[in-house]
Structure 1
Amino acid sequence: MRRRALAPGAVALALGLALTACGSDGSDDAPDLKVEGAFIPAPASGSMAAGFFLVHNSGGTDTLSSVDSPIAGQVTLHSTEGGVMKEQKSFAVPADGELDFERGGNHLMFENLKHLPKEGDKVSVTLHFSKAGAVTVSFPVKAATYNPTSHASDASH
């Protein structure tokens, strides 16, 4: 009889611990974002430029939903897989993880440039996150061939 009385209590305790563990993955926590290594390679000509950066997140999940900049009529989000570029509506920012925009992968496209940015310029870019809100970052314009081996702390908010 005593064994039966303990069983419901043990089940309730185990269930409570399991539910607590499910909530501790950081997904319900507020995101804690830091943007680093932002840059735009100087475009040679035309009305488009690309942008790259790294988002570190030491909090809960978030989503990069849009980007804008006074230098462009429109800024779009793109992924590249197998050499094929595809426009994306948003990008997930994982809890306690990173979202990387790098050459050959995810990147921004600055379209309908209002003027051609030159090496040494700094371009203001606002990243819009669903939870963290707007984060404005200064993107330095680097040489057209610039390709960091890893994102450095060239720009952060």
Structure 2
Amino acid sequence: MRRAAVPVAAALGAALLLGGCGADDSASPAQLSVSAAYMPRPVSDSMAAGFLTLTNEGGTKDELTSVTSDLGEVTVHETTGGVMKEAGPLAVPAHGRLVLESGGSHLMFEKLTRRPKEGEKVSVELHFAHSGPVRAELPVKPATYRPATGH
């Protein structure tokens, strides 16, 4: 009777050990990073726009809920059918990207505390539903700048 217990215990142990192998990372937390960030030089004393790409290398989606900056009030806007309006939280899919680009979803800076000049950098802090905040620097580019890649 004792001999039968050893193979069963060994098989059970092997099954538990192998059960962890090959497991996907779909439950891994969001791993957020920012790329292709920039701000066209503002043409107004009170408003500016910002663009960037958020990449999530993790297995869990998250949501961009708000953005803060010492440059002024920042909201996330979306353009639909040629009409711009404030957006609610925007999804950052697991193993995916959220692109904030001209003509689509983007950052809107209002009530500027100063008018940034070309060559400067504007700091922002991105806030999420589940992850900690992510800081990013937006280099100020010419007012007509359009990236060749990244958006």
- TM-score class, shorter-chain normalisation, is 0.7 to 0.9
Distance 2:135 2:49 in 1: 17
Distance 1:132 1:36 in 2: 17
Contact 1:52 1:103 in 2 (8 A): yes
Secondary structure in structure 1 of the residue aligned to 2:49? strand
TM-score by length of 1: 0.77
The Cα shift of 1:71 comes to 0.8
Name the residue aligned to 2:69.
Answer: 69
The Cα shift of 1:81 comes to 1.5
The Cα shift of 1:86 comes to 1.5
The Cα shift of 1:46 comes to 2.5
- Size of the aligned set, in residue pairs, is 128
Name the residue aligned to 1:140.
Answer: 139
Contact 1:29 1:61 in 2 (8 A): no
Name the residue aligned to 2:54.
Answer: 55
RMSD of aligned Cα (Å): 1.6
The Cα shift of 1:121 comes to 0.6
The Cα shift of 1:30 comes to 0.3
Structure 1: gaps (5+ residues) = 1-22, 153-157
Distance 1:48 1:89 in 2: 20
Name the residue aligned to 2:78.
Answer: 79
Distance 2:91 2:34 in 1: 15
Structure showing greater Rg? 2
The Cα shift of 1:45 comes to 2.3
TM-score by length of 2: 0.80
Name the residue aligned to 1:94.
Answer: 93
The Cα shift of 1:24 comes to 5.4
Moved >6 Å (runs of 4+): none
Q: Deviations over 1:76-128 (max 9, x none)?
A: 01111121111012101001110000111110000100000110011110000
Distance 1:76 1:45 in 2: 17
Structure 2: gaps (5+ residues) = 1-22
